Amino acid sequence: MLVFKFGGASVRDAAGVINLSEIVRKYTGQQLLIVVSAMGKTTNALERLTKAYMNGTDELPDIFSEIKDYHFNIAKQLFDPSHSIFNEVANTFVEIDWMIEDEPHDDYDFVYDQIVSIGELVSTRIVAAYLNHADIKSQWVDARGYIHTDNNYREGNVDWEKTMVSIKNDIPKLLEKGIVVTQGFLGGTSENFTTTLGREGSDYTASIFASCLQAESVTTWKDVPGILNADPKFFSDTVKFDELSYTEAIEMTYYGASVIHPKTIKPLQNAKIPLLVRSFNHPDEPGTIIKETANTAFEKPVIILKQNQVLLSISAKDYSFISETHLSEIFSFFAKNQVKVNIMQTSALSFSVCFDLKHERFEKLLVALAPNFKVKYNEEISLITIRHYKLGALRDLVGGKTVLLEQISRNTAQMVIK
């Protein structure tokens, strides 16, 4: 059997849903499970809605109306007005109505997951309905009943044993009846609350299902021809890799390559399942295959740019050396506030780290550090990582920028720039 994952860009409008159906139609002779993300920029819009709700701002009704109108307009282009999908979509959005009628829960991350998850639930309802409308037999499945997690909201940790039992017990029987359509990004707790698996986590969902079902392969359909050495939005003259090893893909995702979610590769590597990255605009082209071993010549370096970063420098208030005891305390604060370090550097009197700016977590981290440490920080900075670099080319990449922090190892160079 095969697992396909379609991201938000692939289903951002009615034409995208129709294109998805045409891709799927070519594989109707095989058992197929499809993982679908929220449509277009819906996750961003639902994040704005969550903030408006938590902050009690007046823009909340307008944001919610915009999200609902967007989905109903897509549905209107795909279905007759009498189709049941309109009630299904409306009933799904009611879950948000029920939540925003009450006072906000104290835990922002909990609220985030209950609201933002609606994007995937609605998109998959529409996709499954359209596949059936196009005479491609399919069934909608709620991923929250199969991917079991703890209560670590926004970064749910998968209970693999329980998840594997649920998937193996049910999904093979469903696949015998037709295509299975389910949500990326989502999990469920033992109390039946929704969790999410981390931003852009739909790739990870696909790898979870694939590894539990021993799939032949996973294909993630993107708006790029495959995995490139750099993001074409920021760098010109990019090249596509025909194949990559699991190891190289893990390195790239660890440093922030956004084409694949960081947790995606390991379950596939363990099960020796190849991952294909292909273009939904050119579905007949082969894209990139990630597998155990790959014959890859890195004629150009791999360049990974992470924007919206914070560079935080921490020092002891008594001017003592930064010791292992200090680092242990500092890292406990990072772990407690779910702040992931992208690069770190230690000197005699300070410890510097760069990480993604998520305001609510950053503010909690600053409060935790304040009693024992002095902090300085820079916002609106970027982290650039270069794999397989050539020394002479490093400076050209950051020309005209101020380098705030730099690390160079045998195979990887990283620079924090402003």
For residue range 240-253, list pLDDT tens digits in order: 999 999 999 989 98
User: 300 by DSSP, 3-state: which?
Assistant: coil
How confident is the model at residue 286, as a pLDDT? 94
Q: With bands split at pLDDT 50, 70 and 90, how would you rate the model's confidence at 2? A: very high
Residue 138 reports pLDDT greater than 90: yes
Residue that the structure tokens 């009498």 belong to: 82
b/e map of 227-236 (b: 16 or more CB within 10 Å)? Answer: bbbbeeeeee
% of residues, the chain, pLDDT over 90:
85
Residue 23, token pair as written in the block: 């891709």
Give yes or no: residues 285 and 307 share one domain: no
Task: Tell me what the mean pLDDT of segment 19-31 comes to.
Answer: 96
- Plot region of 140 (φ>0 → left; ψ -120 to 50 → alpha; else → beta): beta
How confident is the model at residue 393, as a pLDDT? 77
Q: With bands split at pLDDT 50, 70 and 90, how would you rate the model's confidence at 394? A: confident
In the sheet with 351-356, reading across from the earlier edge strand, the strands are: 341-346, 351-356, 302-316, 373-387, 412-417, 403-408
Residue 255, token pair as written in the block: 């440093």
Give yes or no: residues 340 and 383 share one domain: yes
How confident is the model at residue 130, as a pLDDT? 98
| Domain end among 291, 320, 355 | 291
User: 114 by DSSP, 3-state: which?
Assistant: helix
Q: With bands split at pLDDT 50, 70 and 90, how would you rate the model's confidence at 319? A: confident
Q: With bands split at pLDDT 50, 70 and 90, how would you rate the model's confidence at 7? A: very high
| Domain end among 264, 291, 318 | 291
Question: Which residues are CB-contacts of 391 (< 8 A; sequence separation ≥ 6)?
Answer: none
Output phi, psi for 306, to 5 deg.
-115, 120
Give yes or no: residues 281 and 317 share one domain: no
Question: Which residues are CB-contacts of 350 (< 8 A; sequence separation ≥ 6)?
Answer: 313, 314, 315, 322
Please write the tens of the pLDDT for every residue from 86-123. 999 999 999 999 999 999 988 999 999 999 999 999 99
The DSSP code for 158 is B
- Plot region of 185 (φ>0 → left; ψ -120 to 50 → alpha; else → beta): left
The DSSP code for 143 is G
β-pairing, 138-140 vs 179-183, is: parallel
| Domain end among 226, 259, 291 | 291
Any domain includes 173: yes
Give the closest residue to 61 by CA, choosing from 134, 69, 418.
Answer: 69
Any domain includes 296: no
- Whether residue 245 contacts residue 234, with contact meaning beta carbons closer than 8 Å, is answered with no
Give yes or no: residues 240 and 127 share one domain: yes
Domain that holds residue 339: 302-417
Task: Tell me what the mean pLDDT of segment 1-9 comes to.
Answer: 97
Residue that the structure tokens 């070519």 belong to: 26
Task: Tell me what the mean pLDDT of segment 372-390 comes to.
Answer: 94
How confident is the model at residue 360, as a pLDDT? 86
Q: For the whole prediction, is pTM greater than 0.85? A: yes
How confident is the model at residue 299, as a pLDDT? 84
Task: Tell me what the mean pLDDT of segment 230-236 comes to.
Answer: 87
Give the relative orientation of helices 60-78 and 14-25 as an angle to the nearest 10 degrees.
50
Task: Tell me what the mean pLDDT of segment 363-385 comes to.
Answer: 95
b/e map of 377-414 (b: 16 or more CB within 10 Å)? Answer: bbeebbbbbbbbbeeeebeebbeeeeebbeeeeeebbb
Average pLDDT, the chain: 94
How confident is the model at residue 248, as a pLDDT? 92
How confident is the model at residue 297, as a pLDDT? 83
Give yes or no: residues 306 and 253 share one domain: no
Give yes or no: residues 169 and 262 share one domain: yes
Taking the C-alpha atoms of residue 190 and residue 169, their distance in angstroms, rounded to an integer, is 18
- Whether residue 300 contacts residue 254, with contact meaning beta carbons closer than 8 Å, is answered with no
How confident is the model at residue 84, as a pLDDT? 97
Task: Tell me what the mean pLDDT of segment 194-215 comes to.
Answer: 95
How confident is the model at residue 143, as a pLDDT? 98
% of residues, the chain, pLDDT over 70:
100
Taking the C-alpha atoms of residue 399 and residue 10, their distance in angstroms, rounded to an integer, is 35
Taking the C-alpha atoms of residue 185 and residue 117, their distance in angstroms, rounded to an integer, is 8
